[in-house]
Chains A and B, each alone.
Chain A
Amino acid sequence: MTSFMPPADRIWWKVPVGREEIVWILIALTWCLIMFFMMPYWHIYGKQNLSNEAYQTTPAKFGAKVQEGIDQYKTGEEAGVPIIHPPAGSDVYMLGRLWQWWPILELEKDKTYRLHLSSMDWQHGFSVQPININMQVVPGYEMVLTVTPDQSGEYGVVCNEYCGIGHHTMVGKIYVKE
């Protein structure tokens, strides 16, 4: 009956520690350090990292950039949403607002793009499916992702941050062409 009684030894911190505890602490500590160093390791050798690149912006400024992209690179429309086909290597702008991702992107496989994301109103979640890449999209901030889609196909952009009653209708598209 002692876990809820004062320690038996007055100087309890001098009581020697049992062997399995010491061994376990060493094993666990090693594992903790491995997990810790995996993160910087992946920054150096891994291929999936987030840049620190982000800017403060406003809905008006960011909206103008998105419109510029649409004016330059629009190739068509789907369900009333413009489709753009920006050149490889370029800056691509996409916005989230209640309840749309705008515009639809057409990208080329194995080409790299600088994708800029921001929100016009509330927070949204940029969730590319089925590849399952998820980013938080926050009003007032423009996040830049350098992305290289390496599988072709049709991807849905589901909003996965709750954004009001129409949240479940907020779906966008990204096409990756061979």
Chain B
Amino acid sequence: MAQFRTCPDTGLYFHKSAESLIKANAVAAAVALLVAGLLGLLVVLTRWQAVHLLPADQFYMALTAHGIDALIFWIIFFEMAVLYVASSVLLRCRLATPAWGWVQFLLMLVGAVMTNVAIFQGSSSVMMTSYVPMQAAPHFYLGLILFAVGALIGCFIFFGTLVVAKQEKSYEGSIPLVTFGAVTAAIIAVFTIASGAIILIPTFLWSIGYIAHIDAEMYRVVWWGMGHSSQQINVAAHVAIWYLIAGLVFGARPMSEKVSRGAYLLYILFLQLACAHHILVDPGISAEWKVFNTSYAMYLAVLASMIHGLTVPGSIEVAQRGKGFNNGLFEWLRKAPWENPVFSSMFISLVTFGFLGGITGVVMGTEQINLIIHNTIYVPAHFHATVVTGTTMAFMAVTYFLIPVLFRRQMILPGLAKLQPYIFGGGMTILVLFMLGAGTLGVSRRHWDMDFTGAALGFDYPGMAYTLMGIGAFGGVIGVIGGGIFLLITVGSLVFGKKLEPSAGLLQSFGFPLAASCYTDKRPETLPRAAPLPAGHHTSSFEAPGTFVLALVLLVTFVVYYFINWKYLASVWQLS
């Protein structure tokens, strides 16, 4: 019998099995983030040439583990939790096949541990991309495969739950926008995992000797079919969280369901292209295909992101204006709850993802411009703006929301929590900006020594490159402190936070259900449609003029920066 509890504070319904799975996946994600963050500290302190902490072998080992634990294990464990929330919790529906949920969790856990063991045994310092013919230990690949199978099961449970919700009529009308975003993420995830299987299974067989040869270029094309689209899962998921938080904090409604869902549809149709971003300067790939693929057809997925970039803050503006914050262009924004980490973390995520991550991504994904950027430290700088200040901060935001609601604990250290998004976001933004600069000066990524110690022939980077790497690394250290504070507050709350009614003991914080009496067999009430739009909605004037101005600022920044890079390209040697 399906059992539910109602959150006394928010009115959300939690199905018992889904609740436990959300907790388990979120806690596993936090552990991965902890490991990844510590490794990030070691990595960044090594890239800071004045500190140069680790020896070369340990640096490459730490960097391999940092990339995998952060980008794959932290993010995807958390995304599993997001899928359960977006299906079972938001739709007030029992989880389809809870037992398979535990298979999902255990497979991912075993896979994550296995790959980490392989890396820390020392023979798999191949970076997360594991480009052939460089070879890792077989259990490095096997761990990733098990993890991916687990994630695939998670996606199917999600789809199954949607079907159950539809059949049992747990909601009226169409699924909510946030769930629609999660559907987008899950569809892209299935495609991603298929590409991953196509490349990782043969590579695993190659590592144990069943396959003699894997073509290095073919590997790159297919691997990035997974590697690139997996980043689009993150985009779809964190945009869904932006909408969710706009709704939770402000009671915002989408400006237009049609536009926001249409934008998600563009993601489904076009985001999975763009594996070419990573192979723009590779041999044997034709220019026509590169131009088509790298631009997601005609930048239609970029268009989608630009639309969300307007509609998410726009919906907040409309909601705020409705509450009377109507003065000037920006009173709605000034009067936003900047001391609430749920909002501030989400808003920093939105702004940095657009201004830093988005713009740099499109610029370096331009076919020709890529040749002045490929494999420089500009690349990690870009994706720390997308997956760290973008995705990670969105996930942090929703975690702050979930601690009282899901885990039934009051958050500890609320004063520190107010500052945490600014410390983390600020530090990482410094890292991003200065490493973008260092990349422009040619500093390479995945590189232990800017001094080339022991090289027969040398090269001297300009002093400025050292300065930029140093300041960037300093920002990284602040970022690690900010990340540490996040974990201190969240994990600390689960252990030491004041218990809320109905309360959770220690074990309950880590996945066990609450006391049996909290749950009833009664079906949740059907999720009703949102309240109708006020009359005269969407008639003549602009509803969100402040947001529109901000969007224009983004556009101007984008255009200027884009053409600066063409100009820079025009200054290098002629190539044809």
A interface, CB within 8 angstroms of B? 1-10, 12-13, 15-21, 23-25, 27-29, 31-33, 35-36, 38-40, 42-43, 46-52, 54, 56, 78-81, 100, 104, 112, 117, 121-123, 125, 127-143, 145-151, 156, 158-165, 167-173
Contacts and interface: CB of A to CB of B under 8 A. Distances in A.
A127 B457 contact: no
B247 A50 contact: no
Contacts, number: 341
B490 interface: no
Contacts of B452: 158, 168-169, 171
Contacts of A16: 538
B133 A12 contact: no
B575 interface: yes
A130 B450 CA distance: 13
Nearest to B278: A136
A79 B302 CA distance: 49
A23 B445 CA distance: 40
Given A13-B258, A29-B303, A170-B455, A139 B174 contact: no
Contacts of A31: 306, 555, 558-559
B253 A51 contact: no
B259 interface: yes
Interface string B243-257: 110111001111111
B201 interface: no
A130 B542 contact: no
A21 B453 CA distance: 55
B520 interface: no
Interface stretch (B283-291, B402-410, B412-420): B283-291
A47 B540 CA distance: 48
Contacts of A162: 60, 127, 446-447
Contact of A49 (B131, B176, B284, B368): B368
A50 B176 contact: no
Main secondary structure of the interface of B (DSSP, over half): loop
Contact of B253 (A8, A39, A43, A168): A8
A32 B299 contact: yes
Contact of B368 (A46, A54, A137, A172): A46
Interface in B446-461: 446-449, 452-461
Given A2-B251, A18-B256, A133-B575, 5 more contacts: A27-B555, A48-B572, A49-B576, A139-B133, A162-B60
Contact of B256 (A17, A50, A104, A140): A17
Range class of the B interface residue count: 35 or more
Given A27-B555, A133-B371, A147-B574, A164 B529 contact: no
B372 interface: yes
B535 interface: no
B115 to A, nearest CB: 18
Contacts of A129: 442, 459, 461
A1 B10 CA distance: 11
Contacts of B255: 18, 21
Contacts of B282: 136, 138, 141, 143
B50 interface: no
B38 interface: no
B138 interface: no
A172 B456 CA distance: 9
Contacts of B527: 5-6
A168 B448 contact: yes
B374 A49 contact: no
A48 B570 contact: yes
A149 to B, nearest CB: 5
B544 A15 contact: no
Nearest to B568: A132
A53 B44 CA distance: 38
Given A49-B368, A136-B374, A8 B575 contact: no
Contacts of B134: 122-123, 163-164
Given A15-B258, A25-B307, A140-B216, A10 B457 contact: no
Interface stretch (B75-83, B155-163, B310-318, B333-341): B310-318
Contacts of B298: 32-33, 36
B234 interface: no
Interface of B: 56-57, 60, 90, 127, 131, 133-134, 171-179, 215-217, 220, 243-244, 246-248, 251-259, 279-287, 291, 295, 298-300, 302-303, 306-307, 310-311, 314-315, 362, 366-368, 371-376, 440-442, 444-449, 452-462, 527-533, 538, 540-545, 547-548, 551, 555, 558-559, 562, 566, 569-570, 572-576
Contacts of B244: 3-4
A51 B256 contact: no
A39 B291 contact: yes
Contact of B573 (A35, A79, A131): A131
B176 A5 contact: yes
B247 A132 contact: no
Contacts of B445: 160
A12 B173 CA distance: 10
A169 B456 contact: yes
B570 to A, nearest CB: 7
Given A121-B133, A158-B459, A168-B56, A8 B533 contact: yes
A159 B574 CA distance: 21
A13 to B, nearest CB: 5
A160 B438 CA distance: 14
Contacts of B371: 48, 50, 133-135
Contacts of B367: 39, 42
A156 B457 contact: yes
Given A10-B173, A79-B457, A130-B442, A21 B256 contact: yes
A171 B441 contact: no
A123 to B, nearest CB: 5
A91 to B, nearest CB: 15
Contacts of B533: 8-9, 15
A65 to B, nearest CB: 15
A54 B283 contact: yes
Nearest to A49: B576
A28 B374 contact: no
A151 B449 CA distance: 27
Contacts of B576: 47, 49, 51, 146
